Amino acid sequence: MIRSASPLACFPSITACPDKELTNSSLRTSYSTSSICGARYRLGRYAFIRSQNIPNFDQKVTLPEPSPIRLISRYEITHLYIVPPILLTLSAQPLSSFEFGHEVLEIYSAAAPLPSSLDPKIRAMFPTARLRQAWGMTESAVCLTVCPPSGPNRHHSAGIIYPSVELVLVDPETLESVPPTETGEVWVRSPSVTMGYHGNPESTRETFDVLGDGSGWMRTGDAATFEHEHGMNWIVIKDRLKEVIKVLGQQVAPAELESLLLSHPKVLDAAVVGRPNDKVGELPWGFVVAKDRARGLEKELLKWVEGQVVKYKRLGGITFVEKIEKNPSGKILRRVYRERVKQEAAQEIRARL
């Protein structure tokens, strides 16, 4: 079990400041309502909320007005509260677009894991900014982990545990705890966790009291591991358990393969799901938005991934698409692609009969 150590060491006293912040996240999420709306009153900042009615970004076209770049420059934004897809879109813009007359001090990313391949691009776009990832869920009301505002940082991690939060990693099949260095489902216990789902006792029992002992542990459905560095335990979110791909009994996190694809210079966006396979159970299958769909690109990308992973994590194939479907919070709608590969696999089986 991992508990918060030295609770206040990484969270100095909050004082009024003249900073200005911009958010692109949906106001329907706890990320916005708690971290942005509530805390901002205490911080004394001006908050600019980009309207959800403005058309979504599209990697194929110039950012629509008012774009985040324009807003950052016009209002001298110092703090960005943003989601990974927006950072991905911004990374495709020329570096000259980020020559502001002021310093951007902080980039706060949540709602979905940030691909590690974006880290050098973010550093180039915002050289004066501190990148902070966080992790939480609506049921927890607030974030559960966050990268500290100062001191050591690990950009691929969602940070350290907030005060009064307890986390434990559990084998989802045996419901037994696993060592922090292994991958397991995150269970959380905290005063901020809600009591359950209104009018849905079955889901409440399955999520908030799976052990039936009233111990207060909530199943998150997220797979994660911990890394111990700088005297602190840093959580690394792997993926949603229901989205993990099973290859010959081995677990493959789609986010890991997506990050590798995104690190290729010819890839704008990517999603990976499991495609049914008679021999191995499932094969990782990629959906890719390419900058230029040149001949031989699929083979090039397959070799790119193959050279960086063990055999069972290799992609079984790639389908090129115009865009990756995501929800307003920036999470990939994997069910869209799971349904697509299931239909394609079924068609192939019928064709062989």
Q: Tell me how far apart the alpha carbons of residues 98 and 246 are, in angstroms, rounded to a whole number.
A: 41
Is residue 116 packed enough to be buried (19+ CB in 10 Å), middle (13-18) or exposed (0-12)?
Answer: middle
Task: Give the residue from 240, 271, 287 where a domain finishes.
Answer: 240
Which residue pairs from 5-10 have beta carbons closer than 8 angstroms and sit at least 24 positions apart in sequence? Answer: 5/232, 5/233, 7/163, 7/164, 8/163, 10/148, 10/149, 10/150, 10/151, 10/160, 10/232
Query: Which of 161, 192, 219 is at the close of a domain?
Result: 161
Q: Are residues 28 and 118 in the same domain?
A: yes
SS3 129: coil
Q: Confidence class of residue 13 from pLDDT cuts 50, 70 and 90?
A: very low
pLDDT per residue over 74-127, tens digit each?
A: 888 888 888 887 888 888 888 888 999 889 999 988 877 888 888 888 999 999
Residues 21 and 154 in one domain: yes
Q: The CATH number of the domain where 61 resides is what?
A: 3.40.50.12780
Q: What angle do CA 119, 122, 127 make, to 5 degrees?
A: 115
What percentage of the chain reaches a pLDDT higher than 90?
Answer: 41
Examine the domain organization and report whether 131 and 18 are in the same domain: yes
Check pLDDT > 70 for residue 353.
no
Region 297-317 average pLDDT: 94
pLDDT for residue 320 is more than 50: yes
pLDDT value, residue 342: 86
120 and 19 co-located in one domain: yes
Q: What is the pLDDT of residue 42?
A: 54
Q: What is the mean pLDDT of residues 135-158?
A: 88
pLDDT digits (tens, 9 = 90+) for 195-231: 999 999 999 998 998 888 888 899 999 999 999 998 9
Q: Which residue has the tokens 């307890």?
A: 166
Q: Looking at residue 178, which CATH number applies to its domain?
A: 2.30.38.10
Higher pLDDT, 195 or 29: 195
Residue 10 and residue 128 share a domain: yes
Structurally, the chain folds into a number of domains equal to 3
Structural domain harbouring 59: 2-161
Write down the pLDDT at residue 322.
Answer: 93
At 240-289, the pLDDT tens digits run 888 889 898 888 989 889 999 999 999 999 999 999 888 888 999 999 99
The rounded distance, in Å, linking the Cα atoms of 162 and 5 is 9
Which of 132, 161, 190 lies at the terminal end of a domain, its last residue? 161
- For the ranges 3-12, 212-221, 296-305, 343-352, the maximum mean pLDDT occurs at 296-305
